Each structure stands twice: as structure tokens, then as C-alpha cells.
């Protein structure tokens, strides 16, 4: 896979990165998998054993109808049932900021999976900072398009925040990717990355 | 499409109770065609009062099969792609050996001398039928309610014969409430003086008891919402109360009608035997836990429950799904929104169709 170039995958740059990271035939669990687009792609192109968890009944239905093994559950409950190290990769694709107990989720995902892939929108991006600075209101940008009372995001974190949590948790970061649109960001990611993708393990 | 049942006879069947039935017959129907690799066969499993007539029109009654909305060309179980088999369960009264069959040693109906049967016995007989078809592995075993129990039993007792299992609106074991409703039905039958200890053959059958049992059953298959919608407090063909105990309300009329219809097509002793088999079914038995039992299962699972089903509530399906997860089995699960109660899997099939179709197609493509 070429570095410095992110292929478009289903219109989401973090999906493209995840598509690069996951090896063929891996066992993959996607937390908050939506309609299972990423899992379907991974199953088709990488032959992975694809499983997913999703809370929305309508999305689960569409995922199952497209042939992906998804079950309806909240993330905390779903992880608790799995045995240790049941998966090669556990994916949290722009979901961490929506969970009630992100730290617990991180713990659990690295119990049931050998490695975790965490992708999240960077709240430290300059547009977010400017939005808040000039409007004096909860930031609204392309990345955070919601009114505060409608947002599914209940925890806001920056690239630095996640790096700090990784320190506290004594996790190993195997790879980190910073993205702005479909470009990789090389300098000052906390300011310029819209989305960060971390590959972590214990 | 007119479909009639066929019957196969086997020399003997050993039962969980230790008894042996000899010979034993099984009635079945098929839809679609078996492919040359014999990899497209699906066994559909009927619920408590169903029979082998799952799809098409019956030449006998002129009625569609119990899952006709799910089985056929372009439907969930697409007969343009798959070969679908449905057989009447052991202990039934629609062509498969049961308590109303003739006991070859006496020349009279078995009645209560019929051995007690289990869901495991039902599945053992189905396996003999699948062997007879020389089908090495079933693409799917699927059914709702008691049909779901059989699907689960297949998955754990014949893991090498099943590629996927689709248990719908079912449980790994009956709760006290489920056993209680069955017991009310059994007591209604046995309290009918016409039951005569089961020896009513050639005489007046216990029609009143069986009808009451069915009325109770029908209540449990519907939901509060669906009954309100269907009947409300509407009166039947009158403007005011009769101030008596004839039919006043629509719902009374409906239940009486369904009860009396049931008597024409169902054997009272079969009611006793089959409900007992459902009550005995328990995946934890001899295994310690549901999860330990499911350790043996190797197939892919699609589990479906319905929001308004209070007879087989979603928590029972979720218990199954959690046990499968704890053994890292491949399981898809969703609770579908429906107002039709336990009957949802028979009547509200639009979403269920999409799920089953996609699930089967993705598995079948991987096979071939």
C-alpha cells in the first residue's frame, strides 16, 4: 500500500486507512458499525471474518440484509460478553466520542481484541477553534455539524487528548494517521487533522 | 402452485425416553429444486400447530401454507434458488407418526400409550428424512417459536449438517410463564369428559377442551395492541349487551370461531404431547449453561425477535445471542418492531424477508 496517499473508500478517509491496516483473513469486530459498509468491504476485499455491533435497529437490518453479521446492542454490553482476544482487530470508527464511558470501552476493546483501531474527529482542528473563538458558541463545522442539543457526540477530544489517554493507559501506539479530507497531515496534526486514526495495543 | 404432502416410512426411531417407535412415518413437502451439489437445501421447521404444508396451496383444504408469504419464487426462502423442505413433527397429527397413529402391535390408535417425545426426537426424525434425501449439509434450518427450538437443536446436535440456523421468536428453554400457559391448555383438554383418558377415537373427541386450549393459545399469540386494533370493545352483531353469556364482544366470537376451527384439524392428544415436548426443551440440560451447549454449534446464526412478542419476549433471544457471543460464534441479531405479538413472524414478514434473504444470499455465495 502506498503511503502518503489515501485511497477513497466509501467516501470516508478513515475507512481507507482502516482498509490499509487490516490484514487479509483477520477477525474483525466493528463497534458502532452503522449499516455495515466497512465490514462488507473488508469481507469482500480482504476476506476477513467480519462482525459488527450497532444500536439502531434500522441500521442493523440493513447491515444484515447486505450479508454482514451484525447484532443490535449497545457497545458496552456487547463487549462484555466476548471472551478475551476473540478478535485480531476491534474497530471504533468515529464512535469513541459517542460512548458513555470511552475509557472503559478502550479497556474492553483491547481485552477482546489483540489490536484496536480508533478513529475520531479532532476537536482541536483550527476550524473548530476559530468557530468557538469568533462565534462564542459551541463550535459548528463540517466535522461537527450538529447543534449542541442534537449532537450524538458526548465527549469531545483532540489528538493531544487521545495521546495523553494512551500514556495514562500505558498503551502502545503502533501507527497513527492524521487526515484532512483525503490528504494525510504531516505537520501539527492537532491543528490540521480533521480525523485521527490510531492503531493501538496493550 | 398446488403442493401435496408425501410420506416416507423408516424402520424405527429411538427416543430420548428410551422407547423405540417402529415403524415411524414422516409427512413432508418440498418447494424448488435441489441443485446437483445438494448445497441449496433449507429445512423449514413449523411451530406448535403447524404442519408440512408450509407453502403453496393445499389440494385438500385449498389454503396457503403457514409460511407461504416467506417461501416461494423471489420470497425470503427463494425457491428459484433454494430447495425448501418442511415436514410435520413427530407427535403431530398431519401425516407424521403421533398419538393418533395406529399402534401396529394393537391395531388401535396409540392415544396415551404413545411414548413421550422431545424436541430432540423431532429433530432426529428430521435428520433421517434429510439422510433419505442424501443431503450432506443444510444451507439453513429455520423456524419460529417451536420451529426455532428445533433449529437450535439442529445446530447443537448436528453441527456438521447445518451451515446456518435462523431461530425466530423463540427461546433456549421455556420460562415458568410459558409452561404455565401450556399447562392450562393441557388441563382444559384433560378436564373435558370426552377426553376419556385419551381414548376418544371412534367416539366424540374432547372438542370443548381442545377449543378452550386453542383460545388461550390465540390470546398469547397476539398483543394487547393488536387485539385492541382488531376487536376493541366492539359488539358482535348487536347494539347493546345481551345480559347473558352468549357472545357479546367481537373478541369472544373470534376466539370461539378459532377454537372450533382448530378442533377440525388438530388431535387433542397431539396437543398434550407436543406442548410437553416444548416444555421439556432446555438447551442447558446436561450442559450446565446455554453457552456450553452452544459450544458445539459451528453454524452462522441469524436470530430475530419481535418487540410486541410477550410470549417469547426479546430477552430470551438476547440471552441466546449473548451465549453465542461468549463462545465467539457468528451471530446476527435484531429485534424487529411489530404490533402483532408472537404471531409477527407469520404475519408481519416484510422486514424479516429482507433479513433472511440477505443473510442466506451472503452465506450461499460464500459456499459456491
B201 has catalytic annotation:
no
Question: Phi and psi of B235, rounded to 5°?
Answer: -90, 155
Q: What is the ipTM of this complex?
A: 0.89
Sorting pLDDT into bands at 50, 70 and 90, what band is A9? low
- A112 vs B: CB within 8 A: no
- Report how far residue B157's alpha carbon sits from residue B155's, in angstroms, rounded to the nearest whole number: 6
* CA separation for the pair A99, A113 (Å, rounded): 18
d(CA B347, CA B113): 37
pTM of the predicted model as reported, rounded to 2 decimal places: 0.94
Nearest to A108 by CA among A140, A124, A85: A85
Which whole number is the average pLDDT over A140-165? Answer: 93
Q: Which CATH number is B6-174+282-367's, of 3.40.50.300, 3.40.50.1820, 1.10.760.10, 3.40.50.10680?
A: 3.40.50.1820
A78 pLDDT tier (thresholds 50, 70, 90): confident
Q: How far is CA B271 from the centre of its chain?
A: 12
Chain centroid offset of residue A16 CA: 12
**Fold designation for B179-275:** Rna Polymerase Sigma Factor; Chain: A (1.10.1740)
Q: Which chain A positions have a beta carbon within 8 Å of B365's beta carbon?
A: 67
Is domain A13-201 given the CATH code 3.90.1150.10 in the classification?
Answer: no
What is the average per-residue pLDDT within A170-179?
A: 95
Verify whether the Cβ–Cβ distance B334 to A72 is below 8 Å: yes
Residues B359 and A67: beta-carbon distance below 8 Å = yes
Q: Which residues of B touch A25 (CB under 8 A)?
A: none
Q: What pLDDT sits at residue B151?
A: 98
- Residue B342 bears catalytic tag: yes
Domain chopping of chain B, boundaries: 6-174+282-367, 179-275
Say whether B348 is catalytic: no
Q: Is B127 on the interface with A (CB under 8 A)?
A: no
Ordered per-residue pLDDT tens for chain B, 368 residues: 778 899 999 999 999 999 999 999 999 999 999 999 999 999 999 999 999 999 999 988 889 999 999 999 999 999 999 999 999 999 999 999 999 999 999 999 999 999 999 999 999 999 999 999 999 999 999 999 999 999 999 999 999 999 999 999 999 999 999 999 999 999 999 999 999 999 999 999 999 999 999 999 999 999 999 999 999 999 999 999 999 999 999 999 999 999 999 999 999 999 999 999 999 999 999 889 999 999 999 999 999 999 999 999 999 999 999 999 999 999 999 999 999 999 999 999 999 999 999 999 999 998 87
Which residues of chain A from 37 to 66 reach within 8 Å of chain B, CB to CB?
49, 51, 57, 60-61, 63-66
Quick check: B44 and B68 in contact, CB under 8 A?
A: no
> How confident is residue A15, by pLDDT bands cut at 50, 70 and 90?
confident
Integer Cα distance of A78 and A100 in angstroms: 14
Amino acid at each position: 500500500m502506498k503511503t502518503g496517499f489515501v485511497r477513497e473508500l466509501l467516501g470516508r478517509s478513515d475507512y481507507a486507512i482502516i482498509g490499509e491496516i487490516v490484514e487479509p483473513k483477520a477477525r474483525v469486530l466493528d463497534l458502532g458499525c452503522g449499516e455495515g459498509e466497512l465490514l462488507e468491504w473488508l469481507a469482500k476485499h480482504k476476506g476477513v471474518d467480519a462482525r459488527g455491533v450497532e444500536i439502531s435497529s434500522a441500521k442493523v437490518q440493513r447491515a444484515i440484509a447486505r450479508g454482514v453479521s451484525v447484532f443490535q446492542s449497545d457497545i458496552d454490553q456487547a463487549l462484555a460478553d466476548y471472551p478475551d482476544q476473540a478478535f485480531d482487530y476491534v474497530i471504533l470508527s468515529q464512535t469513541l466520542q459517542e460512548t458513555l464511558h470511552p475509557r472503559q470501552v478502550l479497556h474492553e476493546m483491547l481485552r477482546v481484541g489483540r489490536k484496536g483501531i480508533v478513529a475520531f474527529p479532532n476537536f482541536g482542528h483550527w476550524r473548530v477553534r476559530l468557530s468557538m473563538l469568533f462565534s462564542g458558541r459551541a463550535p459548528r463545522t463540517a466535522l461537527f455539524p450538529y447543534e449542541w442539543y442534537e449532537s450524538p457526540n458526548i465527549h469531545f477530544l483532540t489528538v493531544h487528548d487521545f495521546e495523553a489517554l494512551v500514556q495514562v493507559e500505558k498503551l502502545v501506539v503502533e501507527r497513527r494517521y492524521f487526515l484532512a479530507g483525503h490528504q494525510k497531515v504531516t505537520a501539527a496534526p492537532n491543528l490540521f487533522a480533521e480525523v485521527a486514526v490510531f492503531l493501538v495495543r496493550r | 402452485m398446488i403442493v401435496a404432502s408425501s410420506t416416507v416410512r423408516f424402520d424405527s426411531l429411538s427416543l430420548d425416553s428410551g422407547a423405540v417407535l417402529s415403524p415411524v412415518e414422516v409427512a413432508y413437502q418440498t418447494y424448488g429444486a435441489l441443485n446437483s451439489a445438494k448445497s441449496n437445501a433449507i429445512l423449514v421447521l413449523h411451530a406448535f400447530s403447524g404442519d408440512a404444508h408450509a407453502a403453496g396451496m393445499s389440494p385438500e383444504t385449498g389454503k396457503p401454507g403457514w409460511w407461504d408469504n416467506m417461501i416461494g419464487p423471489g420470497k425470503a426462502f427463494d425457491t428459484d434458488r433454494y430447495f425448501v423442505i418442511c415436514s410435520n413433527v413427530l407427535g403431530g397429527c398431519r401425516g407424521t407418526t403421533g398419538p393418533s397413529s395406529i399402534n401396529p402391535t394393537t391395531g388401535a390408535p396409540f392415544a396415551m400409550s404413545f411414548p413421550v417425545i422431545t424436541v430432540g426426537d423431532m429433530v432426529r426424525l428430521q435428520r433421517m428424512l434429510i439422510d433419505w434425501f442424501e443431503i450432506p449439509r443444510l444451507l439453513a434450518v429455520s423456524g419460529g417459536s417451536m420451529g426455532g427450538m428445533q433449529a437450535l437443536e439442529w445446530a447443537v446436535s448436528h453441527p456438521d449438517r447445518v451451515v446456518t440456523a435462523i431461530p425466530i421468536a423463540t427461546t433456549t428453554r421455556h420460562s415458568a410463564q410459558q409452561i404455565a400457559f401450556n399447562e392450562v391448555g393441557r388441563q382444559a383438554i384433560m378436564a373435558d369428559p370426552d377426553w376419556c383418558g385419551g381414548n376418544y377415537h371412534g367416539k366424540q373427541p374432547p372438542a370443548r377442551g381442545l377449543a378452550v386450549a386453542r383460545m388461550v393459545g390465540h390470546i398469547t399469540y397476539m398483543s394487547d395492541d393488536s387485539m385492541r386494533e382488531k376487536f376493541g370493545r366492539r359488539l358482535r352483531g348487536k347494539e347493546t349487551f345481551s345480559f347473558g353469556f352468549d357472545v357479546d364482544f367481537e373478541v369472544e366470537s373470534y376466539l370461539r370461531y378459532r377454537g372450533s376451527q382448530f378442533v377440525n384439524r388438530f388431535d387433542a392428544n397431539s396437543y398434550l404431547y407436543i406442548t410437553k415436548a416444548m416444555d421439556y426443551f432446555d438447551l442447558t440440560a446436561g450442559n450446565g449453561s446455554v453457552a456450553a451447549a452452544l459450544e458445539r454449534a459451528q453454524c452462522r446464526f441469524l436470530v430475530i425477535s419481535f418487540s410486541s412478542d410477550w410470549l417469547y419476549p426479546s430477552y430470551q433471544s438476547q440471552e441466546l445471542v449473548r451465549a453465542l457471543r461468549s463462545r465467539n460464534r457468528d451471530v446476527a441479531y435484531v429485534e424487529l418492531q411489530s404490533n402483532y405479538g408472537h404471531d409477527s413472524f407469520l404475519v408481519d414478514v416484510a422486514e424479516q424477508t429482507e433479513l433472511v434473504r440477505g443473510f442466506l444470499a451472503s452465506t450461499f455465495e460464500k459456499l459456491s
